[in-house]
Amino acid sequence: QKEVEQNSGPLSVPEGAIASLNCTYSDRGSQSFFWYRQYSGKSPELIMFIYSNGDKEDGRFTAQLNKASQYVSLLIRDSQPSDSATYLCAVMSGDMRFGAGTRLTVKP
């Protein structure tokens, strides 16, 4: 079974802090990695994708990929209350496999 694991949280950070969300995956052959944000009762919304080892930055978001360690993370700088949501890690291993998500709360 190709697994994607995330800490379910909740992860609570103060407004303005850096939130760090982590994800591990079991299929070493995975090639594409995605982070989605999902507000309560809503559908997942794509934040970023990353294909290569290293960091990829987009505004306040940075995705980090380490294929040797089978680890992908998402950093959110200057966290805002509007960032409070569940963040889903997804890994393409033939099919797209999703983690159950980490619930992030940003406190004003």
Partner 1 sequence: DAMVIQNPRYQVTQFGKPVTLSCSQTLNHNVMYWYQQKSSQAPKLLFHYYDKDFNNEADTPDNFQSRRPNTSFCFLDIRSPGLGDAAMYLCATSPGGDGDTQYFGPGTRLTVL
Interface contacts to partner 1, rule CB under 8 A: 4, 8, 32, 34, 36, 41-46, 49, 88, 90, 92, 95-101
Find the shortest distance in angstroms from Cβ 56 to partner 1. Answer: 14
CB of 4 to partner 1, least distance (A): 7
* Cβ closest to partner 1, residue 17 vs residue 48: 48
Q: Could you tell me which of 42, 19, 18 has the C-alpha nearest to residue 9?
A: 19
Nearer to partner 1, 9 or 60 (CB): 9
Contact 72, 85 (CB under 8 A): no
Structural tokens at position 28 = 């070493």
DSSP 46-97: EEEEE-SSEEEEETTEEEEEETTTTEEEEEESS--GGG-EEEEEEEEESEEE
Residue 55 Cβ vs partner 1, minimum distance, rounded to whole Å: 19
CB of 29 to partner 1, least distance (A): 14
Which of 17/27 has CB closer to partner 1? 27
